[in-house]
Structure 1
Amino acid sequence: MTQSTVQTKHILLIDDDAELSELLTEYLESENFKVTSCLDGASGLAKAFDDSFDLILLDVMMPILNGFEVLKALGGNHKTPILMLTAKGDDNDRILGLELGADDYLAKPFKHRELLARIKAILRRISIVKSQSTLAVNAPTKQLTINQVKVNQATREITCRERLLELTGTEYLVLVYMIENHSKIISKAEISEKVLQRKLSPYDRTVDVHVGNVRRKLLAIDPIDKMKTVRGAGYVFLQGEE
C-alpha cells in the first residue's frame, strides 16, 4: 500500500510548550499524520469536543486549564482516545489521568519513536473496535450477553441491566475482551498485549486502572460485583447465574 492510499489520521496536540509542539508537529507530519496544535488547555478543550480527531495528545501542566481539568470537562466518556503527556514522575498523576478517562500515558522526556509506537498502538485498538462494529452490522442477530451485561458491537454500546454504560474506547475494549473470555483468569500481561496492543511494562498500572474504572461503572448500576481480582494472576469476569 502506497503512502498516498493510506488515510491520514488527524491528531490534536494540546501542549503549552511551543518549541516541543513545533517539533512534534513536524515529526508526526513526516509520519503521515495531520496535526492541529493548541498551546493551552482551554482552546484545546474547545477543539477536543470535535469528533473529527482520531487521537488527542494532552499535556498535564498547562495554563488556563491543565490536562486533568480538560479530562474532567470531557466527562470520562469521550470517544476520541487520549494519550497523556506528563513531565511528572509521580505515579499518582498518571493514575489520576487514567481514572479521569485517558487511554494511556507517556512520561516526558520521551523518544519520538516511542511516542509514535504508542500512537500506533492506540489507533490499532480503535481500528479493532470499528472493524468489530462493521462485522456486527453484517450479522445483526449476534448478541453477547453475560451476567446482565449486553454488548452491541454494531453500535459499540454496552448496557448493564438495560442501562447504558458510559465507557471510553479503551474501557469498552477491556470489558468486551473480559466478557468474551468470561469465567477465565485473564492476566494483566494478556490484557495489555491483546487490548492495549503493547507489552506490559514493570510497575505499569494502566491495566489495573482501566479494569478498576470498568468495575466502578458496573457497580454504579448493579451492586453485584461481576469482576473478580485474582491476586497475582489477573482478573475474571463472572458468568453469574445466567
Structure 2
Amino acid sequence: MRKILVVDDDPTVSEVVTGYLERAGFAVARAAGGPEALRSAAAQRPDLVVLDLMLPGMDGLEVCRALRERGPVPVIMLTARGDEEDRVLGLEVGADDYVTKPFSPRELVLRVESVLRRSTAPVPAAPSGIAGIALDPAARRATRDGRDLSLTQREFDLLSHFLRHPGRALGREALLREVWGWEFGDLSTVTVHVRRLRAKIEDDPADPRLIRTVWGVGYRFDAGGTDA
C-alpha cells in the first residue's frame, strides 16, 4: 500500500483529503506543521507528500527543500488560487505538481495517482554519452562527465525526453503532454522545470548551449552544445 504524507495545518482540509486518499487505497500519515512533517518522513519515508504552502513557522517551501535534501520524493504543493508567484516558487524548489485552493479532493486524488504512476513508470531508453550525459533508468540517476546531477523525478523524465529527441523543436504543450501526461495545464510548469534542468546540466545556465529556447515554439536539445 502506497503511503501518502498530508501536511496541512487546517484540520478540516487534512481530514477531508485523508478520507479521500484512504478510500482510494492509500495509507495516509498526517502532519500539521513542517517539523512534524520532517520527523514523520524520516521515520517512514512516504511515497508522495501533499504539502500546503502556507504553514505556520516553517513554510511549505522550506519543508520541500528539506525533503529534497534527503532524497527524491514526489511532492504535490497546495497553493492559494491566483498566486502564480507562489506556484512558480513551489516548482522552483522541486514540487512535481500543484493544486490550487479551493480544490476538489477527487481532483487531488487523480493528481496523486498521476504523479505516482509517472514516477514509477519505466523510462524509455535514451542515448548515453550525448554531451557527456549518461542516464540509468532503473535507478533514475543521471550523470554528466561522471558527476551526479541530483535530478528530481520530473527533471529526470524531462532530460530523458530531450535526449530521445535531439535537434527537434519541442513545444511546451507537447512537453506537458508527453512528460507530465497532462492534456492541459499551466505552461509555466514546463518553463520552471527547464530552468531548473539548465541550472544542473549547463556550463553556464545564463547562456545555455544544450537546451536552447526556440522562440514561439518551446525548446530544442542541441546535442553538440555549441553556438548556433
TM-score norm. by structure 2 comes to 0.90
| Percent identical | 36
Please provide the CA RMSD for this pair: 2.3
Counterpart CA distance in 2 for 1:12 and 1:168 is: 18
Which residue of 120, 123, 128 maps to 2:116?
Answer: 123
Q: Does 1:70 align with 2:53?
A: no
Post-superposition offset of 1:155: 2.5
Whether contact under 8 Å (1:188, 1:200) holds in the other structure is no
**Who is 1:46 aligned against?**
39
Q: Distance in 2 between matches of 1:76 and 1:232?
A: 35
Q: Which moved more, 1:48-57 or 1:61-70?
A: 48-57
Q: Once structures 1 and 2 are overlaid, which stretch shifts more, 146-155 or 214-223?
A: 214-223
Give the Cα separation in 2 of the matches to 1:239 and 1:166. Answer: 21
Moved more, 174-183 or 203-212: 203-212
Q: Distance in 1 between matches of 2:142 and 2:43?
A: 23
- How far apart in 2 are the matches of 1:168 and 1:72? 12
Unaligned 5+ residue runs, structure 2?
A: none
CA contact (8 A) 2:140 2:153 kept: no
What TM-score, normalized by structure 1, do the two folds share? 0.85
Alignment of 1:105-116 (within 5 A): 105-116=98-109
Instruction: Look up the match of 2:181.
Output: 197
Paired position in structure 1 for 2:194? 211
Q: Which amino acid aligns with 1:39?
A: A
Structure 1 CA distance, aligned partners of 2:50 and 2:211?
31
What are the ranges of 5 or more consecutive residues in structure 1 without an aligned counterpart?
A: 1-7, 137-141
How far apart are 1:180 and its partner, in Å? 0.9
How many residue pairs get aligned? The number is: 225
**Aligned positions of 1:1-242 closer than 5 A:** 8-49=1-42, 52-75=45-68, 78-128=71-121, 131-132=122-123, 144-201=128-185, 203-219=186-202, 225-240=209-224
Q: Give the Å deviation of 1:167.
A: 0.8
| Matches of 1:220 and 1:106, distance apart in 2 | 33
